[in-house]
Structure 1
Amino acid sequence: MGADLKGKVAVITGASGGLGAHFARLLAQNGAAVAITARRVDKIQTLADEINASGGRAVAYGLDVADAHAIAPALDRAQSDLGGLDILVNNAGVGGEGLALDISVEDFDNTFGVNVRGTFFAAREAARRMIAAGVEGRILNIASIASHTVLPGLSAYCGSKASVAMLTRSLAREWARRGLAVNALCPGYIETAINDAWWPTEGGQKQLKGFPRRRLMDASDLDAAFLMLVGPAAAAITGSIITVDDGQSLPGGG
């Protein structure tokens, strides 16, 4: 499934690797000009160069969404350099690992600062620009099955992703008559650089065997839902929390 995104301008946060880099490539492959943002400028510049070399259009900006005051200038730059703003993909996120009795105040605050605060202020700044320009904008927040499923040892992360889900519904309601579609995508477990050392371990294998299909997902399994939510097909979809997890969050284990 593809989407016609020609003439659209997309901004994606947290795109230095993993799902963010995958989504940036997917946007470009479907015709969007892409502003790729993350803290690691070297990584996103390499990705932008790759997209441009393949015939796409991409720019790279350093951005830490935990710094709310840095978000507006980055979006202004994207509008200026690429000629507009039609799509925001709020992908930046951190793990927030740690048992509730052990996690530090600093780590808890960082989890909510990036996953919730960063998502809220990026969405707000994008919405302001989309509304002012009169475009039918798309805001897609990348949540997680953690928004509705307890993941042991990740209480802060689960709380932050549940917040992202409710923010999505609240913002969708608030901006419903402003021409914006605000939705969330909740992926299941996909092997990335963040977790690839875990799956070969005894604990990782036990967790994997608890999934109904006893396997991890591929990033490409998200493509159809992602393109639907950032493209024309989302004209009548807003406030939706869509889970794509290969059944991993189904009760009962494997």
Structure 2
Amino acid sequence: MAVVTGSDSGIGRAAAVALARSGYDVGITWHDDEPGAQTTAEEARAAGARAAVRHLDLSDVRSGAAVVVALNDALGGLEVLVNVAGTGASTPFLDQELDEWRHVLDVDLTGAFTCAQAAARLMVEAGVAGRIINVTSVHEHVPLRGSAAYCAAKGGLGLLTKVMALELAEHGITVNAVAPGEIATPMTGNEDVEPTRIERPGIPLGRPGDAREVAALVAHLASPDSGYTTGASFVVDGGMLLMAAEANRRL
């Protein structure tokens, strides 16, 4: 069974459906879009999987562990956790309010930590050589002006991924990060838009990504084929990070 947080839309939904098609039952969580989560569950069931849906608000950082345990109890046998749920804020550093800073870090970093710790404890207790996959961002690796809290949270989650990989390896549990660039999802304002029709001259591939392209990597990292892969961060950005040197040359 796989738990995918934030699976009511976007990358989370695509990941849950991809895992269902790979043979996993799926635990689905939502924050403010219960109908979206039910749609994800319907797609998972159409792929032959069982699905359970729970509400998750990671601004209450202790709730993450309880929801992971509840989904484990509902479906049994947790093998995979995918941390997708997240939020962001576009506020200049000098204007950043402490409450906003704390909210972003609670959801994107501390919430992911509590979910991962609960999942890992269940896996260790059951003797399962499981998989934990943290969806970060290209801004795990490079800064973004006006996004101090978001970059700090995603950078922190990237390094947490490596610590978890070191400590959980003795239990046969692998931990990896997936770092998307611009993906056509509700978070980027491109919900239900065909990515190939959106022009992005600053990205070498010339377009944003499709959530299913990220989900395919998640499904691979959850599969037996990735059993020797741990502590890595896989960038899925159409080559965007490769443009830093090119931008400098043009300037």
Determine the C-alpha separation between the residues in 1 that align with 2:11 and 2:56.
17
Among 25, 35, 39, the residue aligned to 2:27: 35
The Cα shift of 1:154 comes to 1.5
Aligned residue number for residue 77 of structure 2:
84
Superposed, 1:1-254 pairs within 5 Å as 9-40=1-32, 41-196=34-189, 208-250=200-242, 251=244, 252-253=246-247
Determine the C-alpha separation between the residues in 1 that align with 2:44 and 2:212.
17
Would the aligned equivalents of 1:45 and 1:59 in 2 still touch at CA under 8 Å?
no
The Cα shift of 1:171 comes to 0.9
User: Structure 2: any 5+ residue segments left out of the alignment?
Assistant: 191-197
Secondary structure of the equivalent of 1:108? helix
Would the aligned equivalents of 1:99 and 1:153 in 2 still touch at CA under 8 Å?
yes
Would the aligned equivalents of 2:17 and 2:47 in 1 still touch at CA under 8 Å?
no
Aligned residue number for residue 201 of structure 1:
none
The Cα shift of 1:179 comes to 1.3
The Cα shift of 1:220 comes to 2.4
Secondary structure of the equivalent of 1:85? coil
Determine the C-alpha separation between the residues in 2 that align with 1:62 and 1:114.
14
Determine the C-alpha separation between the residues in 1 that align with 2:46 and 2:206.
38
| 4+ runs deviating over 3 angstroms | none
Secondary structure of the equivalent of 2:8? coil
Secondary structure of the equivalent of 1:175? helix
Secondary structure of the equivalent of 1:28? helix
User: Structure 1: any 5+ residue segments left out of the alignment?
Assistant: 1-8, 198-204
Determine the C-alpha separation between the residues in 1 that align with 2:43 and 2:208.
27
Determine the C-alpha separation between the residues in 2 that align with 1:241 and 1:92.
18
The Cα shift of 1:232 comes to 0.7
Determine the C-alpha separation between the residues in 1 that align with 2:218 and 2:138.
15
Distance 1:56 1:116, change over 3 A: same
**How large is the Cα RMSD of the aligned pairs?**
2.0
Shifted more, 183-192 versus 54-63: the winner is 54-63
Determine the C-alpha separation between the residues in 2 that align with 1:23 and 1:227.
7
Would the aligned equivalents of 1:78 and 1:84 in 2 still touch at CA under 8 Å?
no
The Cα shift of 1:54 comes to 4.5
Q: TM-score, normalised by structure 1?
A: 0.88
Determine the C-alpha separation between the residues in 1 that align with 2:215 and 2:30.
21
Would the aligned equivalents of 1:12 and 1:91 in 2 still touch at CA under 8 Å?
yes
- Aligned residue-pair number: 239
The Cα shift of 1:194 comes to 2.0
Secondary structure of the equivalent of 2:156? helix
Q: TM-score, normalised by structure 2?
A: 0.89
